[in-house]
Each structure stands twice: as structure tokens, then as C-alpha cells.
């Protein structure tokens, strides 16, 4: 992508090589958040400032961690949908990061079975979306089985519309933990479901209405180049697309 170029609607699918995810895992918590946040911002400025030449023509670099390290990535828009492919992170000095990038590229580290979606990487690294400038609630997961929805409604845990907005594992959490001394407790049920979505991070009761409202909104539906599926975030979302 040429300098000054933009992605359609400033949105893109973002994928990481597994090597890059491992490199992130070796950083401190603050360093990890800083690097991921900078990568997320590539949706707004994908062309970057350091386009590379042969043997890495078509790639770019992003300065991170106070300029002491660089991320090597490629920005493109196949099918008019933005795509950011992040290859590696390395020291800025002595061309070390470039030698590393050539080796990883030639080893096929961006083949489909060697990459991790941004959102999956956040789960692997135990990073909360909002900590890196993302809205982690504006997606709509695949519908849970109809029988589970009916069972939750029949038990008095959730109404049908709310149950249908949850993923299968969220609904399982609601059905397992949505009980109080008097029996079915819809407030406990929905909080249990949303905390499952947040990997058991605390969700305040006051947040649940806003979260569920976001899930009712129209979906983005952009076809993601690498995932091959449609984006499940709300229409008009900023930044990275999401497949699941």
C-alpha cells in the first residue's frame, strides 16, 4: 500500500504469524499492550512510514516500544477489504528484524495454518480488548442450538431474544450459574454469560443492557480475506474486522 493510502472505511482483517504471537508472549504486560495497540491503529494508517525494498518489497515496518523495536507487516486490500498481515517483531538495530522477517517469510509463516486472528491472539495472551483500543462487545456470535435457547427460556433464566444473542458457551454459563436461593435468577444468568465472554472478568449489572443493545445492531458483513467469513462486528465499526 502506497504512502497515504487508506483501507475502505478504515477497517481491516488483522492476522498475526504464530511467531509474532510467541514474541508478544515474551514481553511484559505493558509492552504487550503497547505493541498490540499500535498494530490495531494500522487500520487508520496502513501505509506506514518505512516501506521496505528487495528482498522485502511490499512489506512495511512500524516502530514500537519507543522506537527500540520494529514490527514487520504487509497492508493490502484484496477484494476491497483491508488486510493487515503481521510477520514479526525485532530489534531496530543492525537490520536484525529484517533478516528475521526474510527467514520467517521464506518459511511460510503466513500460510493459513501458521497464522492467528487478532481476536484469537488476544484470548491466547489474556488481553482485554478495551485495553488495546477495541470494543470487545460489538460482535454477534453464531446462534446457539435452538434446543438450548428453549431450555433456558423454559427454566426462566432468560427471555428468548436475549438467549438468541448469546453464543453456545455463553448460554451454557447462563444455564449453569444463573441460579439463586429462590431458583432461576435472570440477572445472574446474563452476567454469568457475559463473564464467560470475558473469560470470567467481572461484568457489572449496569453494563448488560448496553452490551446486548450492541449485539442487536446490524452487522458489518464484510467478507474477510483470510478467514473467508463475514465480519460479525456491528456495521460501521472502527478498525479490525472479526470472524468469531
Domains identified in the chain, total number: 2
Within-domain flag for 243: no
Q: Do 54 and 157 share a structural domain? A: no
Question: Are 15 and 242 contacting, i.e. CB atoms less than 8 angstroms apart?
Answer: no
Note whether residue 156 is domain-resident.
Answer: yes
Q: What is the pLDDT of residue 230?
A: 96
Cα–Cα distance, 231 to 238 (Å, whole number)? 12
DSSP 55: T
CA–CA gap between residue 221 and residue 84 (Å, rounded):
18
Is 170 inside a domain boundary?
yes
CATH number of the domain bearing residue 89: 3.30.2310.20
Q: Are residues 114 and 162 in the same domain?
A: no
Question: What per-residue confidence (pLDDT) applies to 195?
Answer: 87
pTM of the model: 0.88
- Pick the closest to residue 125 from 34, 41, 52 (CA basis): 34
Same domain assignment for residues 84 and 173: no
Q: Is residue 235 part of a domain?
A: no
Statement to judge: residues 121 and 212 lie in one domain: no
* Residue 238 lies inside a defined structural domain of this protein: no
pLDDT in tens, the chain (244 residues): 667 789 999 999 999 999 999 999 999 999 999 999 999 999 999 987 788 888 888 899 999 999 999 999 999 999 899 999 999 999 987 788 899 999 988 888 888 888 999 999 999 999 989 899 998 888 988 889 999 999 999 999 999 999 999 999 999 999 999 999 999 999 999 989 988 887 656 776 667 788 888 888 899 999 999 999 999 999 999 999 999 8
Neighbours of 217 (CB within 10 A): 14
What is the predicted pLDDT for the residue at 236? 94
Both 112 and 155 in one domain: the answer is no
Q: Are residues 91 and 14 in the same domain?
A: yes
For residues 113 and 160, membership in a common domain is answered with: no
DSSP code at position 87: E
Assigned domain for 74 exists = yes
- The residue range of the domain holding 110 is 8-132
What is the pLDDT, as a whole number, of residue 206? Answer: 61
CB environment 91-116: b (16+ within 10 A), e (fewer) = ebeeeebbebbbebbeeebbeeeebb
Bond before 55 cis per omega within 30 degrees:
yes
For 171, the enclosing helix (H) or strand (E) is helix 168-177
- From 79, 110, 132, give the residue that closes a domain: 132
Q: Please tell me the predicted confidence (pLDDT) of residue 201.
A: 66
**Contact predicate 83/76, CB 8 Å:** yes
Amino acid at each position: 500500500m502506497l504512502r497515504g493510502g487508506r483501507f475502505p472505511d478504515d477497517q481491516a482483517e488483522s492476522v498475526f504469524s504464530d511467531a509474532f504471537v510467541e514474541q508478544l508472549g515474551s514481553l511484559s504486560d505493558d509492552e504487550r499492550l503497547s505493541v498490540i495497540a499500535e498494530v490495531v491503529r494500522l487500520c487508520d494508517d496502513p501505509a506506514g512510514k518505512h516501506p521496505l525494498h528487495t528482498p522485502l518489497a511490499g512489506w512495511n515496518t512500524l516502530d514500537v516500544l519507543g522506537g527500540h523495536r520494529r514490527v514487520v507487516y504487509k497492508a493490502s486490500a484484496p477484494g476491497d477489504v483491508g488486510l493487515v498481515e503481521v510477520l514479526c517483531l525485532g530489534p531496530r538495530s543492525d537490520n536484525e528484524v529484517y533478516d528475521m522477517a526474510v527467514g520467517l517469510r521464506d518459511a511460510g509463516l503466513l500460510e493459513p495454518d501458521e497464522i492467528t486472528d487478532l481476536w484469537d491472539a488476544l484470548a491466547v495472551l489474556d488481553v482485554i480488548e478495551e485495553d488495546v483500543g477495541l470494543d470487545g462487545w460489538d460482535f454477534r456470535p453464531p446462534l446457539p442450538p435452538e434446543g438450548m435457547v428453549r431450555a433456558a427460556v423454559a427454566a426462566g433464566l432468560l427471555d428468548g431474544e436475549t438467549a438468541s444473542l448469546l453464543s453456545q458457551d455463553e448460554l451454557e454459563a447462563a444455564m449453569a450459574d444463573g441460579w439463586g436461593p429462590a431458583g432461576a435468577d435472570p440477572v445472574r444468568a446474563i452476567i454469568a454469560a457475559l463473564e464467560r465472554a470475558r473469560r470470567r472478568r467481572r461484568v457489572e449489572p449496569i453494563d448488560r443492557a448496553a452490551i446486548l443493545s450492541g449485539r442487536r445492531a446490524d452487522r458489518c458483513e464484510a467478507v474477510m480475506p483470510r478467514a473467508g467469513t463475514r465480519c460479525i462486528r456491528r456495521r460501521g465499526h472502527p478498525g479490525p474486522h472479526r470472524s468469531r
